[in-house]
A = this chain, B = another copy of it.
Amino acid sequence: MTDCPMCRKWQDDADLQIAELEQCYVLLNRDQFFPGYCFVFTREHVTELFHLDVATRQAVIEEVNDVAAALAAVFKPAKMNYELLGNMLPHMHWHLVPRFTTEPLWPKPIWSEPHDEVQLTGAEYAERIELIKDKLRDP
């Protein structure tokens, strides 16, 4: 679907690319208010878990799981949050968000209060991406 922003996101946010997996792309969220917040989204334009055949669904989940494990290892959060919503953008994308007891919003969901975006410098994005890449390659 050429009018789907998620179908274009891998190219549009090239500076945030972490990994091209078999089923999914992994991208750092430009807003790093929650340090380590990543998107894991399918290469194919699909929407619901139950639209996938079982092998594809399980492969997607193993990739979501591997990224969550890498984020937990790198950022050492109190809890990982995993969200598959898609009300605004139905192309399947998982929000993987390391959560910390030191956050202003803890322990509430990330959407419970608005926040100003936290943008990093190019070098800071690159460093954070490299840490996650390394952990994904060598768990």
Tell me if B83 and A82 are in contact (CB < 8 A).
yes
Tell me if A65 and B57 are in contact (CB < 8 A).
yes
Within 8 A of B (CB), among A46-93: 47-50, 54, 57-58, 61-62, 64-66, 68-69, 72, 78-88, 90
Tell me if A48 and B111 are in contact (CB < 8 A).
no
Q: For the side of the interface on A, what is the size category?
A: 35 or more
Where chain A touches its partner, the secondary structure class is mixed
A-B contact pairs, 30 of them (CB 8 A): A47-B79, A48-B68, A48-B72, A48-B79, A48-B80, A49-B61, A49-B68, A54-B62, A57-B61, A57-B62, A61-B61, A79-B85, A79-B86, A79-B87, A81-B85, A81-B87, A82-B83, A83-B84, A83-B85, A83-B109, A85-B109, A87-B99, A87-B106, A87-B108, A87-B109, A88-B107, A109-B109, A111-B111, A111-B112, A112-B112
